[in-house]
Amino acid sequence: MSMERGTSMEREVSIERLRPVFWGEVWVKDARIVYVGEADKLKQVMKQEGSLGAGFPEIRWDRQVDCGGNLLMPGFKDAHTHSAMTFLRSYADDVPLQQWLQERVFPMEAKLSWEDIYHFTKLAVLEYLTSGITSIFEMYLTPDAMGQACMDMGMRCVLTSGLNDFTSSVERQEAEYLKWNGHHPLISYRLGFHSEYTCSKELLSGVAGLARKYHAPVFTHLAETEAEVEGCKNRHGMTPAAFLDSLGIFDYGGGGYHCVYMTDQDMDVFTKHGLAVVTNPASNLKLASGIAPVAEFVRRGIPVAIGTDGPASNNCLDMFREMFLVSGLSKVRERDAASLDAEEVLAMATGGGALAMGLSGADVLTEGKLADMILIDLHRPNMQPLHNIPKNIVYSGSKSNVRMTMINGKILYEKGDFCLPEGEDAEEICQKCEGIVKRII
């Protein structure tokens, strides 16, 4: 196979969910990984007739990267976020969820234009790159604006609708679903709606109809607060999970964001339909919503992914902080320091997110998979000594350890600098967003 255009990652440590850390290298051609192997086996590969490495001395790489003994691993998947809420960072703070929404968020969101959302999403992408996030599961007001922003920035994005009684419609969501699935290699779309408490039964029945029509999974905010659950029980005599299940919303899978207040019956619904939980610990802490029973989800075999939620309720888009909180809060909730192992949490932040988002091609570093990967600096003091690299990442890692972020075979962030697609400039993006904020607020 010709390797005229490609990248070689030499002398790095690599990790996969089911594979121990090893010394080796990764080759990338265009958007795909074409070789992953241990260094001591590379010579054998080169000698094999017809192998990828045949004629290795003649391979002309675009670039070879000596990773210097650092860790090359799959990128983090932010499995729930509202990127354009960067405009409310540190503005809508220190109030409970319903007051936060009704008094601080909804009135300001009503002032946003399509172009505003586009620019604020680009600002969020800059932050994702610095945190080693290579894919986002995005729910906000105008999916088209977010999809365009991610295309322009080179970010992999799974869109979903924030459909509710006040914005969008079932018909519009169907049009978005058809438009964005297959439109661009970086963008896909999953059915969704904001929540049970912002949608009429008729609207939810329409979403269920779309799920049946396309045999498609559906995602929503679910059981985030006690008030939400009690409100649904008062309206429908059931918890949100049970009510949505009764409408057929989850017949083809999907999942819930937050899932803090889940009954045994709710978890049975998730098990029955193979639904995923996306936990958002920092947001739930800041809004005093509670602590999700993540260890119980794991015990029941319910897939778990991790999300940051939006930058108005978090307030940062930092997967290192989320991973630490997932593990630490589980230990407190369960009163058991062994309730959730760091390696399980790291798997949630990578492969777990890919599973929830339908990104089976971007879950691990293996031949044929998408080249969405990050390089973690193991030489910084917070990573030493190297007793256990995965545990170091979860318990002591930070954004400062992200040396490189690659998406779809392109390096977009390296050693503190952005390497954005032509026409995009990080400083200009920040200045543009600052101007919009001054106009709105």
Please, what are the averages of pLDDT over each run of 10 residues along the chain (441 residues)?
44 59 92 88 65 58 92 97 96 86 90 97 98 98 96 98 95 98 97 97 98 98 97 98 98 98 98 98 95 98 98 96 98 96 96 97 95 98 96 97 98 98 97 96 85
CA nearest to 138, candidates 166, 418, 148: 148
Between CA 40 and CA 44, with CA 43 as vertex, the angle to 5 degrees is 95
Q: Which letter does DSSP use for residue 245 in this model?
A: H
Residues 6+ apart with CB under 8 A from 388: 342
CATH level 3 topology of 76-361: TIM Barrel (3.20.20)
SS3 helix, strand, coil % of the chain, rounded to 5? 45, 20, 35
Please give the class, per CATH, of domain 7-74+365-418: mainly beta
Ramachandran class of 182: left when φ > 0, alpha when ψ lies in -120 to 50, beta otherwise: left
Q: What is the pLDDT of residue 289?
A: 94
Q: Which letter does DSSP use for residue 184 in this model?
A: B
Residues 6+ apart with CB under 8 A from 387: none
How many whole angstroms separate alpha carbon 80 and alpha carbon 357?
A: 9
Residues 6+ apart with CB under 8 A from 2: none
* Token reading at 436: 């919009």
Question: CB-side exposure of 279: number of CA atoms within 13 Å?
Answer: 33
Domain with CATH 2.30.40.10 in the chain: 7-74+365-418
Handedness of CA 306, 312, 316, 317 (dihedral sign): positive
Q: For residue 7, with 0-12 CB atoms within 10 Å meaning exposed, 13-18 middle and 19 or more buried, which class applies?
A: buried
Question: CB-side exposure of 115: number of CA atoms within 13 Å?
Answer: 6
How many whole angstroms separate alpha carbon 401 and alpha carbon 173?
A: 39
Q: What is the pLDDT of residue 6?
A: 52
How many whole angstroms separate alpha carbon 94 and alpha carbon 67?
A: 42
Task: Give the chain's largest Cα–Cα span.
Answer: 71
Residue 37 phi/psi, 5° resolution?
Answer: -160, 160
How many whole angstroms separate alpha carbon 208 and alpha carbon 202?
A: 10
Q: What is the pLDDT of residue 20?
A: 82
Residues 6+ apart with CB under 8 A from 85: 105, 120, 140, 310, 311, 312, 313
Domain with CATH 3.20.20.140 in the chain: 76-361
